[in-house]
A and B are shown apart, each in its own frame.
Chain A
Amino acid sequence: MTINLFFQHLANAISLGSLYALIAIGYTMVYGILRLINFAHGDLLMVAAYVVFYAQGIFHLPLLPSVGLAVVLTTATGVIIERAAYRPLRNSPRSTILISAIGISFLLENLAIVVFGGRPKSFPLPQWLDIGSAAQIGQVTIENITFAIPVVTVTLLYVLLYIVQKTKTGMAMRAVAKDFETARLMGISVDRIIAVTFSLGSALAAVGGIMWSMKFPQINPLMGMMPGLKCFIAAVFGGIGNIAGAVVGGFVLGVVEIMIVAFLPDVSGYRDAFAFVILIAMLLVRPTGLIGEKAAEKV
């Protein structure tokens, strides 16, 4: 493995990792508040991608309005899902709400198959992101999109952290995440805060989905399942409920995935399995993740 090869791999890894990080943030936010693995998060990715596809293809909207429309529609979808499928189950045992999440995920996927058709479609890319538009740094080639993704991720991260740490809504979100009942006693409208969290998470998923489609311009109804699972693993790895942890987890997962295939090409067929192995190892060794906090279980 020459040093150039290594750097190329590293560039790929950072590109993939920042994508995972972006989506993992949405996951971790929802989990932090509701203690729910939103299986449908990955499918919101897919929804956003298709909205942009149709907005550009059928309505011929330019890029930015399409993205805006996608974010709005995906956020709406996320909030509707929360209202319809998760809110009624707030007092039910955890397994019930998990089943509901799985059901919604399958529903979205199958609806997409019926409405959009099962064939993969080509995602429309703006000129400056299209193939061939890559930068050369020495022997290493980096696609333009690879620069865009970390920038977007970090920007959104800052915006999110600002909202969570410095605004009143953010404080309310932290309060609800810490203790549901007490927050309610303090006069916080828990329903509203949860809706806000979901919209933020869904908006992030939408942006993540669009970035994903720009990097891998092939969209199909099942495109969100694996990324969704992997990003959940990334969030858990970094510490579920912790935004910075999600980012760290995403990058680590991206790097590990690429590096394993780089150093051991024979196991490239097992690539997805490694994410699960990492998860299980992490859960056994340090269940709260890299940056997570210990939560005592109250009896």
Chain B
Amino acid sequence: MTPKDLSIRRGIIFLLATVAVAWAGGDLRAVGVTGWDSYSVRIVNLMGINAVLAMSLNLINGFTGQFSLGHAGFMAVGAYTTALLTMDPVTKKMVYFMTPIIPPLQNLTLPFIVALLFGGAMAALFAAMVGVPSLQLRGDYLAIATLGFAEIIRLVIQNAQVITNGALGLKGIPAKVNLWWTIGVALCTYVLLRNLLQSSFGRALRSIRENETAAQAMGINLFRHKMISFLISSFVAGVGGGLLASLLTTIDPVMFKFPLTFQILLTVVLGGMGSLSGSVLAAAIVTYLMEFLRIVEEPRTLGFLTIPGIPGLRMVIFSFALVIVVIWYPRGLLGDGEFSVGRMLNSFRRMVTRRRAAV
């Protein structure tokens, strides 16, 4: 295919996607078309946000090979920053009913996009502080160090009553997020990261993942590359956190503990630690399954038999799935490569040929 054909094809896909999003969000009501119910929209929004978070974690864990467990901390920073910058002064006064918010933040309200970007920037700032000591460590130590920093960040947020309202949390965050935002940011992130990873910088990151000493011998500045990757990853995580805050309209420090990082990690491993489209796919699947598996927690009546619901079984299934995936399918869904219709068709063709040859 010539480049022109490719861009036409991409253009058509993009157009179809836009129409799909508009239809789903009910935005086509003006022309009399109704969209999905808000439950489905909510799930798809969550899918988008999880995709953003998964891709950002994949960048540092999967592509650069630096095992970071600090994602929840950066999400928290992004979420709180975005929330504080989008809440209006009246809401702030009401929410900070115990200790008033510090004066500079009281009347500060910015448009959503600015707040999101600021949230990402703050997360990146914290990442710089975290990265300097942590990125000098390797493997397990890096994991524990980043885990520790995430917990420290969370504790700081929990104790800084005058800035974050501490344990009381924030409510009334304007719900600016909708399908356009979530799918849009997910798409932007994908395109951005894909371009980054196909550049020489991306190749340098992969080489660091494969063999750090060899990469260093080839003249790659390890610390600089790791740090930049870490900063970008945290920036995107911060943006994802901001989107989450706007979707939930209420946040508190307790939701940013390690289980949140675990969920994102699970998604990344499931999708393949070196595949962006794998992360997107896995995010969609995991978000969907989380809701779908409610079925095992509700009582089921099969004829005369009533099987009582077993609450908590969902997380057992997920943890079990993670272990199974990591042992038997360590490459995840898409392993190292990206999703492409061509590859799928090739596999299919090969499978059919093999079948035919066997016969």
A residues near B (Cβ < 8 Å) are 35-37, 85, 88-89, 92, 94-96, 98-100, 102-104, 106-107, 110-111, 113-114, 118, 225, 229, 232-233, 236, 269-270, 272-273, 275-277, 279-280, 283-284, 287, 297, 299
Query: Which residues of chain B come closer than 8 Å to A287, judged between CB atoms?
Result: 137, 141
- Contact check, B323 vs A85: say whether CB atoms are below 8 A apart: yes
Interface flag for B152 (CB, 8 Å) = yes
- Nearest CB in chain A: distance from B158 CB, A: 7
| Alpha-carbon gap, A294 to B47, bound state (A) | 46
Please count how many residues in chain B sit with their CB below 8 Å of the partner chain's CB atoms: 43
| Alpha-carbon gap, A85 to B320, bound state (A) | 11
Query: Which residues of chain A come closer than 8 Å to B158, judged between CB atoms?
Result: 269
| Alpha-carbon gap, A111 to B316, bound state (A) | 6
- Nearest CB in chain A: distance from B143 CB, A: 6
- Contact check, B145 vs A283: say whether CB atoms are below 8 A apart: yes
- Contact check, A95 vs B61: say whether CB atoms are below 8 A apart: yes
Known: A94-B67, A272-B151. 15 other contacts (CB 8 A): A85-B323, A95-B61, A95-B67, A98-B67, A100-B323, A102-B265, A107-B319, A110-B312, A273-B152, A275-B148, A276-B147, A276-B148, A277-B148, A283-B145, A297-B213
**Among the listed A95, A111, A275, A299, which residue makes an inter-chain contact with B65, where contact means beta carbons less than 8 Å apart?**
A95
Query: Which residues of chain B come closer than 8 Å to A297, judged between CB atoms?
Result: 213
Query: Which residues of chain A come closer than 8 Å to B155, judged between CB atoms?
Result: 269-270, 272-273
- Contact check, B316 vs A107: say whether CB atoms are below 8 A apart: yes
Query: Which residues of chain B come closer than 8 Å to A269, judged between CB atoms?
Result: 155, 158-159
- Contact check, A279 vs B145: say whether CB atoms are below 8 A apart: yes
| Alpha-carbon gap, A228 to B344, bound state (A) | 44
Query: Which residues of chain A come closer than 8 Å to B151, judged between CB atoms?
Result: 272-273, 276
Contacts A113-B312, A276-B152, A280-B149 given; does A106 touch B141 at CB 8 Å = no
| Alpha-carbon gap, A270 to B133, bound state (A) | 20
Query: Which residues of chain A come closer than 8 Å to B260, judged between CB atoms?
Result: none
| Alpha-carbon gap, A102 to B320, bound state (A) | 11
**Among the listed B137, B262, B310, which residue makes an inter-chain contact with A114, where contact means beta carbons less than 8 Å apart?**
B310
- Contact check, A99 vs B159: say whether CB atoms are below 8 A apart: no
- Nearest first, the 6 A-B pairs at minimum CB distance are A276-B148, A107-B319, A103-B322, A106-B319, A103-B323, A110-B315
Query: Which residues of chain B come closer than 8 Å to A37, judged between CB atoms?
Result: 140, 143-144
- Contact check, B320 vs A99: say whether CB atoms are below 8 A apart: no
| Alpha-carbon gap, A280 to B148, bound state (A) | 8
> Dominant SS at the B interface?
helix
Query: How many inter-chain residue pairs (CB < 8 Å) link A and B?
Result: 113
* Proximity bits, B37-65, A CB within 8 Å = 1, else 0: 00000000000000000000000010001
Query: Which residues of chain A come closer than 8 Å to B330, judged between CB atoms?
Result: 89, 92, 96
Interface flag for B269 (CB, 8 Å) = yes
Interface flag for B327 (CB, 8 Å) = yes
| Alpha-carbon gap, A238 to B313, bound state (A) | 39
Interface flag for B82 (CB, 8 Å) = no
- Contact check, B133 vs A280: say whether CB atoms are below 8 A apart: yes
Query: Which residues of chain B come closer than 8 Å to A96, judged between CB atoms?
Result: 326, 330
- Nearest CB in chain A: distance from B257 CB, A: 10
Interface flag for B139 (CB, 8 Å) = yes
| Alpha-carbon gap, A91 to B83, bound state (A) | 45
Query: Which residues of chain B come closer than 8 Å to A225, judged between CB atoms?
Result: 258
Query: Which residues of chain B come closer than 8 Å to A88, judged between CB atoms?
Result: 327
- Contact check, A276 vs B149: say whether CB atoms are below 8 A apart: yes
- Nearest CB in chain B: distance from A89 CB, A: 6
